[in-house]
Amino acid sequence: MSLIVQKFGGTSVANPDKIKAVAQRVIRSRKEGHQVVVVLSAMSGETNRFVDLAHQMQPIPDPREMDVLLSSGEQVTIALFAMAVKAAGYESISLLGDQVKIITDSSHTKARIKSIDTDLLNRHLDSGKIVVVAGFQGVTADDEITTLGRGGSDTTAVALAAALQADFCEIFTDVEGVYTTDPNVCSLARKIDRISYDEMLELASLGAKVLDIRSVGFAKRYKVPVHVRSTFTETEGTWVVEEDDEMESMLVSGVTYSKNEARITISKVPDTPGTASRIFTPISNANIIIDMIIQNTRAGEMTDMTFTVPRTDYARAMAIVKEVTAEIGAESVSGSENIAKVSIVGVGMRNHSGIATTMFHVLSKENINILMISTSEIKVSCVIEEKYTELAVRALHDAFELDKLNQPTIEV
């Protein structure tokens, strides 16, 4: 008997009828002989409703109380699901993060999983129950409720699959898998049958919303095969697995974009040892993630420092940077929220030259100016003006012929 973990997102369990339909889908897996652990998100829209309520109480809600509030959404869903399974004649039990002992650190609203106790889960599985676990939530060693941040239910599911040594983890969502780009932007986007952990990590970090990046990190670390598929069809989805030779033959696997970007520039920064640390340490201490960094040397032992932060953290980052600028004796600070990041990803980049050049040429032909560039072994990212995002995505998707399974050699 194989063990599988199945995760269903908010749109899959948006109302009682959909919860009943998910229950029937899980029961079918049970009838096929699988042991099943189900991870559920809150009903679609519930988390946003709770956030709105919180802001009616406090302009900046207390993080601890936010976790207590937000975690209640999953509690409702798992209880209703267990009832639906029992009404269909099967045994089920719903468990909260603290009951399972999903132990996290103490970073409220963005906690990270440290360990999972599987004893209770295994006892219920061995007794023949369909076990349903609240996604997105955990508990500290001091019994404080925590939540894992947006996309945290994916992380819960893959972490449970790793801890239980499940055969695989299925992530059910409202799309049929991972696509070569956003189908809403490019009608020629093609579903990918298999993609490597590394490629999926890059895609998730660069704006693809199908899987949370932390869940992919868990999957890679513990070699958990992840099957991303639709709740509403029986179609095979996308398998996120270890890299193979066929993947390396593809020059580019996908094009992705992120509009949650903002750029900050500090002009005439003293070019002395320790200055970068003085700039970025307080930003890091505020839990603001820095992405791209560019330093341009100027005459007179001065430099300009430009970097990107999530647009949602732009105001906080600017306030911190303005204070630091005065302390270090820099001239000025400027910024922009009207930018986006467009990226190409593919393990084939390791063994093929000219891919970055092709990207730059394609953007140039569309008269799109590149503001910043970042690269890794398997990705190239360009910051551009936000208004050109969709044009850039479609042009790159077309240039690399991602609608085709076999890509030709690219010539500039």
Task: Give the CATH number, domain containing residue 120.
Answer: 3.40.1160.10
The helix/strand/coil state of 325 is helix
Q: Rounded CA gap, 1 and 3, in Å? A: 7
Domain boundary among 147, 174, 201: 174
Structure-token pair, residue 384: 């551009």
Q: Rounded CA gap, 281 and 278, in Å? A: 6
**Does residue 268 share a domain with residue 124?**
no
**Does residue 401 share a domain with residue 254?**
yes
Please check whether residue 387 is in contact with residue 393, taking contact to mean a CB–CB distance below 8 angstroms: no
Number of H helices, E strands in the chain: 14, 20
**Does residue 301 share a domain with residue 165?**
no
**Does residue 300 share a domain with residue 160?**
no
Residue 115 within any structural domain of the chain: yes
Residue 31 within any structural domain of the chain: yes
**Does residue 157 share a domain with residue 39?**
yes
What per-residue string of b and e applies to 260-280 under the rule 16 or more CB within 10 Å gives b?
ebbbbbbbbbeeeeebeeebb
Residue 179 within any structural domain of the chain: no
Per-residue pLDDT of the chain (412 residues; tens, 9 = 90+): 799 999 999 999 999 999 999 999 999 999 999 999 999 999 999 999 999 999 999 988 999 999 999 999 999 999 999 999 999 999 999 999 999 999 999 999 989 999 999 999 999 999 999 999 999 999 999 999 999 988 899 999 999 999 999 999 999 988 899 999 999 999 999 999 999 999 999 888 887 778 888 999 999 999 999 999 999 888 999 999 988 766 666 788 899 999 999 999 999 999 899 999 999 999 999 989 998 999 888 777 889 999 999 998 999 999 999 999 999 999 999 999 999 999 999 888 887 778 999 999 999 999 999 999 999 889 999 999 999 999 999 999 999 999 887 654 544 4
Residue 291 within any structural domain of the chain: yes
Q: Rounded CA gap, 223 and 30, in Å? A: 24
Place of tokens 């603001």: 288
How many folded domains does the chain comprise?
2
pTM: 0.83
One-letter identity of residue 188: L
Of 243, 182, 190, 186, nearest to 210 (Cα)? 182
**Does residue 163 share a domain with residue 41?**
yes
Q: What order of strands is seen across the sheet that includes strand 145-147?
A: 113-116, 102-104, 137-139, 145-147
Residue 78 within any structural domain of the chain: yes
Domain boundary among 150, 174, 198: 174
Q: Which domain holds residue 87?
A: 3-174
| CATH code of the domain covering residue 355 | 3.30.2130.10
Domain boundary among 174, 189, 219: 174
